[in-house]
Every structure is written in structure tokens, then in C-alpha cells.
Amino acid sequence: MPMAAPDSDNALRPLVRNEPLRWVGSGDSLLETACLDALFPSGKLLRPTLCVESAKAVGGSHEHALAFAAGIECLHTASLVHDDIVDQDPVRRGRTSTAEQFGIAEALVAGDGLVMAGIAAMLSSGPADRALEASRVVVDAMRHMCRATLRETEIRGNLSCGLPTVLDVIRGKTAALTGAACQAGAILGGAPPAQVTALRQYGERLGMAFQIRDDLLPYTAGDQVTGKTAVSDIANRQPTLPVLLAYESADEPDRQRLTAVFRGTIDPLTAHHDVLDVVTRTGALNKAAQQAHSYAERARAELHGLAQAERLTELAESAAARQR
């Protein structure tokens, strides 16, 4: 039964939020219970929204992309569940992480179950050739994400890993999937190749802006706002963009302070305070914020010529400006 396309997020959000239920099940096994706990209450739904809005921007209907978008959200949530095992993070979206609540083994399998539910949803979407092409794009992005996740563990504590490496990790961990979500939406909406490429670029740049901003939040917002512990990156000795920018422009005493923090011998709260001090004083926070805005700007530029791109324009703007 065809439905009128919703005009606003208010109409779209419940659809995007409820769709994963169809693919995960209603919770009558431990697997489903753990998967649902990870999915709900849902987060920002950025990736599925990007997918649906991209389909609409090329003249498709939201229905062309809704199941697929739900699949992407399942894959994204799976990556968060597994990330919290890798990083030993007890908190996610302001709540106990799946690993903390159900146990590591259970969270691992729940993540696997979410991956399979997500792929099943994606493979169910529309004509075979489009579903296949869009699925390939997303699966490829997920492979990039895996590579970046391990690269991230390799550079722990390493302040000399270099900006290109950190930008590569951001690309793999976030921008690959936001780019794929937009590209898949465009494919499902029946876009010509030029629009598919433009939306892919848009999504990647938006993802870069989003993640750079995300790495700034521990220095600009409290735990209660971001829903995760502000000291998590530092506790994991993870060099992020603001820290690398600070390290590259710092004088010797500040470099030594950062080095001490990333050796992992200072207690996390003091460490966070020390890093906050250096990233602020060196202007690294401002530089990183500028980079986020620049990516967002270049994302918006790709939307030129698309019919219904207001929402995508807004999303690019808010990606670089968000406070949570």
C-alpha cells in the first residue's frame, strides 16, 4: 500500500526507527533481546536518514530505501556493540553498553546477529540489480571500517602516527559508511551515475565533518551531553585529530605533557585535564573545528543540482556544528 512521502523528519523518524524491528524480531530469544537492547532507544539515526534522504533527493520515494536504511542502522549498531568490546567501554548512548549488560560473548554474538539482520534487510530492497549494487557498496564500506578499527588499535599511544593516518582512520570508521549510505540511497532511488557519485562524495565529506566534531566533543561537552565518557579516547590512549594537531604545533614542554598522557601512566581525569589544556592553548581545537566546517562546506557543494536536498543541506551543516 503506497504511502504519502513524509515531508519532515517528524514523519520519517518513526518509520526509520520501527523498520529494524521487522528484521531483528520481537525479542523471544536471548539473541533478539540483546539486539533490541542495542538498537533501542535509537541514536541519531544519521546513516539511515542519509540513505532515505538521498533516495528522495534523486526523485525516488522514501519507500525505495526504507528497509535498506534499516539494514544500515543494524550494521552501524553492530559496529558500536563490537567497538565497545574492543575499547572495553561500559557506556554507550548514555546507557550501559551491550557488553557491560549482557557479557562480552553475548554482545559479540548480538553484533553478529545485527549484521545478518541488517544484510537481510538490505537484500530485500527493491529490484534485484539495485539491491545488489547498493548492498555491495555498503559491504565494501564495512570492510573499510574493519580495517580502520584495527588500524586504530595499532596506533594507540602513538603521537607520531601522523595526520594522514588519523584522517584515514576517520574515513574508514565513519566516512566510508555515511558515504555508502548516501550512495546506496541514490542507487535505490534510480539516480544517474553523476548523482550517485555526487551523493557518495557528499556522504563521505559529511562523515568526515561529523567524526572530527565527534572527536572534539570530549573537550567541549560533558558526559551527560555526549552520552559517553569524555575520557574514553584518552583512557584508550587513542590519538585523535585535535590531539595530533596539538602535538604537531606544541612546544617542547607541552609535547612532553602529551607524551606522558599517551604513555598511559597518568590517571584518566588528570590526563583529560592536561590534554584539554594543551589542545586549547595550541589552538588545535579551533583548527579541528575549522576542518570540520570545511568538510561540511564541501559536502554541501555536492548537492548542487539535486531536486529535494534541503534536509541533506541541513544535515551537513549540523554535522560540523553539533554539540552532542
- Nearer Cβ to a second copy (11/139): 139
CB contact at 8 A, 138 and 174: no
CB of 80 to a second copy, least distance (A): 12
- Nearer Cβ to a second copy (67/296): 67
Residue bearing cell 555526487 = 198
CB of 225 to a second copy, least distance (A): 28
- Nearer Cβ to a second copy (74/208): 74
Torsion sign over Cα 36, 37, 40, 46: negative
Per CB under 8 A, residues contacting a second copy are 29-32, 34, 79, 82, 85-86, 104-106, 108-113, 115-117, 119-120, 123-124, 128-129, 131-132, 135-136, 139-140, 142-143, 146-147, 149-151, 153-154
- Nearer Cβ to a second copy (111/179): 111
- Nearer Cβ to a second copy (108/163): 108
- Nearer Cβ to a second copy (129/252): 129
Q: Looking at the chain, how many residues does it have?
A: 324
Cα gap 6→88, rounded to integer Å: 40
CB of 270 to a second copy, least distance (A): 26
Q: Which of 15, 299, 9, 57 is nearest to 187 (CA)?
A: 57
CB of 27 to a second copy, least distance (A): 12
